[in-house]
Amino acid sequence: MSQPAPLNPLSLPLHGSRLIEASAGTGKTFTIALLYVRLVLGGHRVDDDTAFVRPLTPPEILVVTFTNAATQELRERIRNRLVEAAEVFRADGQESDSLLLELRDQYDPATWPACSRRLALAAEWMDEAAVSTIHSWCYRMLREHAFDSGSLFSLNLENDQRELEQEVVRDYWRSFYYPLDSDALGTVISYWKSPDDLHILVQRLLPESEALGAKARAQRHPGRHSGRTRRKAQRTQSALVRLAG
């Protein structure tokens, strides 16, 4: 296993798989934007072994993040970085970021005008750039490749499933509790006054729901499940018993 090394965004290889570890406030967005500039520019010489195989356009570069707010910020930061880099390659940015000046100096001055035009075009193209949340990208791929994925052409992306959960609980309440006699229904109501009360309690167990089937899977594949997984399933089952009274 290789040892981690400090990241240099001007020399990080842009081919293959790379893992970058960073904590909050260490310049992740700054680094992504500079790597994006390098992908747009392509190699600075024929034997540049850190560059991608060819220059890329924004629709060919996928950038994913976690939230919609971060997506918009990232898109704007990348666009601004492309504009700044285009100015530097026009030799108009002598007071610009030292990293951009260092990046420009890696290229033959005769290519600077062409590099500037490529960067400016990429900045104008950012409205079509593939910058999205992880779930939005998956949704887009399912929609565009419905035949290959076996999914429906019409899909709804649910960012908040609480309303769906409440609908399921209300349907369960109506199907199983309404037909009960008064004594049995009274017992139910002594625990949960309404479907909303039931939903609040069940919601606590949803993060553990995957463990409920662990026992059956462990019986089919004994070697694949650790004792920790079995204990997690047992705790979940015990919680259900307590919940049911």
**Nearest residue to 234 via CA among 215, 219, 206, 210:** 215
- The response to whether 226 counts as a known ligand-binding position is no
- The response to whether 120 counts as a known ligand-binding position is no
Question: Under a CB-based contact definition with an 8 Å cutoff, are residues 104 and 88 in contact?
Answer: yes
- The response to whether 29 counts as a known ligand-binding position is yes
- The response to whether 23 counts as a known ligand-binding position is yes
Q: How far apart are CA 109 and CA 245, in angstroms?
A: 78
Q: Which two tokens stand for residue 164?
A: 């769906």
- The response to whether 193 counts as a known ligand-binding position is no
User: First-to-last CA distance in the chain?
Assistant: 51
- The response to whether 218 counts as a known ligand-binding position is no
Q: How far apart are CA 240 and CA 46, in angstroms?
A: 64
Q: Which two tokens stand for residue 14?
A: 């842009």
Place of tokens 């199983």: 176
CA angle 137, 143, 149 (to 5 degrees): 100
CB crowding 114-131: b at 16 or more within 10 Å, else e: ebbebbbebbeebeebeb
Residue list, annotated binding site for ATP: 22-29
Residue list, annotated binding site: 22-29
